[in-house]
Amino acid sequence: MATQKGPGEATRTPIDLRSDTVTRPTPAMRRAMAEAEVGDDVFREDPTVRRLEELAARMLGKEAALFVPSGTMGNQVAVNVWTRPGQEVILEERSHIFNYEMGTMAAFSGVLPRPLRGPEGALDEGTVRAAIRPQVYYLTQTGLITLENTHNMAGGTIFPQDQAEAIGRLARERGIPIHLDGARIFNASVALAVEAASLARPFGSVMTCLSKGLGAPVGSVVAGPGDFIQDALRVRKRLGGGMRQAGVLAAAGLVALRDNVERLAEDHANARLLAERVAGIEGLRIDPRGVQTNIVIFTVEVDGFTAHDLAGRWKEEGVLALALDDARVRAVTHYDVDRRQVVSACDSLGRIVAGVRRAGREKGTGP
Ligand SMILES: *Cc1c(COP(=O)(O)O)cnc(C)c1O
């Protein structure tokens, strides 16, 4: 047996704050998966997949939806359906579609990203309007606008709905399709106490993830008009996303949408607690008021001690988090981490940073 050094080792399971994707299926999900009624979904004969798609479409306020293996595939299916090669896609420069989807829009759809900076990850109507190209034949054409809600790398920030509505009106006016990367739209929905369907209303299509805070082991959905989904079906198959007895996965997704949305509020409360505790640690910086949902990004301000060093030390104490760069650490709350574990993670964080600062001071006053 290991000697008990930190909270993680004391409980013997790491406190995993790297992402809400690490959530494991609940007992209810495992039961539903075991009992799922299935068929060949490439023939559209899997009743559980169809039920999931109907429920997702209803919750997102769209005509139809399609089950896809990942959020990346859902986004890239939408990019492919809405655009033609050579067009430009307006997006925020820290967005997932631009940074974490390996240039798929260029590689698969032949379109160019047009990254724009938005405060807190949120583009405003004026910025988007200025970036839309005039319809002159020798100019690159704007093929699509995408927004992200909540914004992952801006720290789980909620996209201001009036701005989304304004950009949606602009897009309709100009005849440009608009897609929402709503990987965590249900976090925004719960935080605002507004239906996800209302948040998705300005958008032609929306993607959301079942496998993050909602806890399903695999899967996302993309939703939109019926003819969009017909095209999306073809593009999904082309990308290798045609799945056969996928009802075993969709069954978990159904439980996720039915049972796990409201409880996201607990993750938000835990994230706020984490942020407040971090704000109280000398040598770390965060404005806890900026933490709106389940993502906490803080800055390490200790001489000679990087975010990577901190993540390494935290891991020794049984807490896992992601260093985003030399300065910033991201911690994400989810249902596999409870309030007690958040407190214990903060306690060890406080000890680590105080220890490093003390060692730095002693070195500084040395001979
Ligand atoms: C997680 C995530 C996705 C999809 O990621 P996959 O790992 O492909 O499921 C898309 N957008 C955002 C903002 C995300 O956080």
Strand intervals (E) in the chain: 15-16, 64-68, 88-92, 112-116, 142-148, 178-181, 205-209, 220-224, 284-285, 295-300, 319-320, 322-323, 328-332
Q: What percent of the chain has pLDDT over 90?
A: 94
Q: Is 182 in the pocket of ligand 1 (CB under 6 A)?
A: no
Domain with CATH 3.40.640.10 in the chain: 27-259
Mutate which of 181, 218, 222 to test ligand 1's pocket (most atoms within 8 Å of Cβ)? 181
pLDDT digits (tens, 9 = 90+) for 224-270: 999 999 999 999 999 999 999 999 999 999 999 999 999 999 999 99
Q: Any idea which architecture 15-21+263-363 has in CATH?
A: Alpha-Beta Complex (3.90)
pLDDT at 367: 54
Contact assessment for residue 191 and residue 165, using Cβ atoms and an 8 Å cutoff: no
Ligand 1 atom 5: residue of nearest CA: 71
Q: Is 104 in the pocket of ligand 1 (CB under 6 A)?
A: no
Domain with CATH 3.90.1150.10 in the chain: 15-21+263-363
User: What is the whole-number distance in angstroms between the Cα of residue 96 and the centre of ligand 1?
Assistant: 7
pLDDT at 45: 98
Mutate which of 20, 23, 72, 236 to test ligand 1's pocket (most atoms within 8 Å of Cβ)? 72
CATH for the stretch 27-259: 3.40.640.10
Q: Is 157 in the pocket of ligand 1 (CB under 6 A)?
A: no
What is the CB-side half-sphere exposure of residue 210 using CA atoms within 13 A?
Answer: 33
Please work out, in degrees rounded to the nearest 5, the angle formed at the alpha carbon of residue 122 by the alpha carbons of 117 and 126. 70
Single-letter residue type at 35: E
pLDDT digits (tens, 9 = 90+) for 132-167: 999 999 999 999 999 999 999 999 999 999 999 999
Q: Is 183 in the pocket of ligand 1 (CB under 6 A)?
A: yes
Q: Is 20 in the pocket of ligand 1 (CB under 6 A)?
A: no
User: What is the whole-number distance in angstroms between the Cα of residue 5 and the centre of ligand 1?
Assistant: 35
pLDDT higher at 2 or 190: 190
Q: Is 217 in the pocket of ligand 1 (CB under 6 A)?
A: no
Which tokens sit at 20?
């809400």
Provide the whole-model pTM. Answer: 0.95
- Give the three-class secondary structure for 126: helix
Provide the residue count of the chain.
Answer: 367
> Bridge-partner residues for 284, per DSSP?
300
Confidence of residue 363 (pLDDT cuts 50, 70, 90): confident
CA distance 150 to 120: 10
Burial 47-70 (b: 16+ CB within 10 A, else e): ebbbbbbebbbebbbbebbbbbbb
- Maximum separation of any 2 CA atoms in the chain, in Å: 77
The residues near 7 (Cβ < 8 Å, ≥ 6 apart) are 15, 317, 318, 319, 341, 344, 345, 347, 348
13 burial type by CB count under 10 A (0-12 exposed, 13-18 middle, 19+ buried): exposed
Q: Is 91 in the pocket of ligand 1 (CB under 6 A)?
A: no
CA distance 52 to 250: 6
DSSP 22: G
pLDDT at 161: 98
User: What is the whole-number distance in angstroms between the Cα of residue 52 and the centre of ligand 1?
Assistant: 19
Q: Is 270 in the pocket of ligand 1 (CB under 6 A)?
A: no
Mean of pLDDT values over 43-61:
98
CA distance 144 to 128: 11
